[in-house]
Amino acid sequence: MGTISAWTQKHAIAPWLSLLSRPRFLPICFGVFVATRMALILWVPIAEPFSDSGWYLNRALTLLADGSYSERGLPTAYWPVGYPAFLALVFKVAGPSWLAAQLANLVLAGASFWLLYAVARRFLQHELAGRGAVLLLTLYPNNAAYVPALLTEALYTFLLLAACYGLLSGRTWWHLLSAGVLFGLATLVKTQTILLIPVLAGLAFLDTWSISKAVRAAMSAAAVLGIALLVAAPWALRNYAVLGAAVLSTNGGTALLAGNNPSVVGDYWHDYSEDDPLFSEARFSAQDQVQADKRARTLAVGWIKDHPVQFLLLAPKKVFRLWAPDGEGEWMYQDTPFYQRHSTVFRLVRVFNQAFYGLAMVLFALSIWRLLTLRSAPTMYFGLGVVLVTTFTSVVFSGQSRYHFPAMPFIFAYVAWYLATCAQSPRDPPISVPDRL
């Protein structure tokens, strides 16, 4: 074992550590990060907005035109207002331009680069964890593919990392308030953020594995959750006023039924079928969306109660669909003449992406094993909390590879930490993480 470690340090890991340790690494890496994503925006056409992206764009345009969040003239809350409101703000400043929205995503992605560096080095207590994480993110094709798309991923990842930065930067009420506000905004983009808040806040404030510390951490986590709910409350009140229900979205029942019905195969796109008897019974309608959401939820819960074994057997399939494939960002480019002319290049990038992703997941698994064997401090499991909550959500609802997008920065942080700790280099910069980053 010692021989293997020596070989990896000399021939594989040590050169990588040396690269990360160079003083100019971060600005050069950031330049490559921005340049590759800008190149996609400028020179690689993306398909016209459709499905989710078309829905977000249309809602943003109605917000910009008359201030209403509506679909075909009817008030809606099918998805939360966060991303359409962000797009509407961009369009208000720069005009209703697709390019303006893409450049806004690039700004968010660039900010996420630096936030990941700060967050990773903080919760893993290692300088090279942050540096390695941003390098892996830079090289990850699927992350770049999403920047030109009018989807929630860029905004949500930014808000999630910003909220995590607030949690990990200090313990004052200001830090609690800033983290709570950012988590609240993230909840208005993806409602499942509510499940993440107590887990991440609890780990961030848990100094040691003890009951007394856990109680204090739980109190702080409750405060952060309360602030986040207050931020999201006006949207719930709006929905109560126009729809008659104080909800954040009206697609929770749909998503639950998509992953739990007689046609289920573990993937939303295969699960959803207009011919499925349960979907037909739900009678989805924009005019009746609140009641339709309730019907869908009731049908899904009833199916789970009547088929508990099948529900449990679906869990591995959903986890597989969530974590095994990657590179779905390619889909957004396929319906263009440019893609047809360069389909071989796209497919080769997809193969590289899957190999890159697969290796990262193997190293991530090894990093978690190392964490467990070292009996690490609670804060070092911070990023694992994102992975576990993401997995739990998909097991209950449905598994799609797109759903693991916000968790990838944290996975890359663990991979970088694992490689850096496998073979410490003499050039490894000292671990220096101040109380306030």
Taking only the tens of pLDDT, the chain with its 437 residues reads 444 455 455 556 667 777 888 889 999 999 999 999 999 999 999 988 888 999 999 999 999 999 999 998 899 999 999 999 999 999 999 999 999 999 999 999 999 999 999 999 999 999 999 999 999 999 999 999 999 999 999 999 999 999 999 999 988 899 999 999 999 999 999 999 999 999 999 999 998 989 989 999 999 999 999 999 999 999 999 999 999 999 999 999 988 998 888 776 545 444 455 566 777 787 787 788 999 999 999 999 999 999 999 999 999 999 999 999 999 999 999 999 999 999 999 999 999 999 999 999 999 999 999 999 988 899 999 999 999 999 999 999 988 899 999 999 999 999 999 999 886 643 444 444 444 34
| Sign of the alpha-carbon torsion through 349, 352, 353, 354 | positive
Q: What is the pLDDT of residue 270?
A: 45
In whole angstroms, give the CA distance from residue 182 to residue 198.
Answer: 14
Q: What is the pLDDT of residue 66?
A: 94
Q: Which of 169, 120, 149, 135 is nearest to 328 (CA)?
A: 149
Q: What is the pLDDT of residue 75?
A: 95
Burial 54-79 (b: 16+ CB within 10 A, else e): ebbbebbebbbeeeebbbeeeebbbb
Predicted TM-score (pTM) of the model is 0.93
Q: Which of 171, 170, 217 is nearest to 197 (CA)?
A: 217
Q: Are 94 and 64 within 8 A, CB to CB?
A: no
Q: What is the pLDDT of residue 423?
A: 64
Q: What is the pLDDT of residue 15?
A: 73
Beta bridge partners of 70: 75
Q: What is the pLDDT of residue 277?
A: 74
Give Cα 349 distance to the centre of its chain. Answer: 22
- In this structure, what token pair is assigned to residue 266? 């573990």
Q: What is the pLDDT of residue 5?
A: 55
> Which residues are CB-contacts of 365 (< 8 A; sequence separation ≥ 6)?
none
Strand-pair category, 70-71 with 74-75: antiparallel
Locus of tokens 């808000």 = 159
The helix/strand/coil state of 153 is: helix
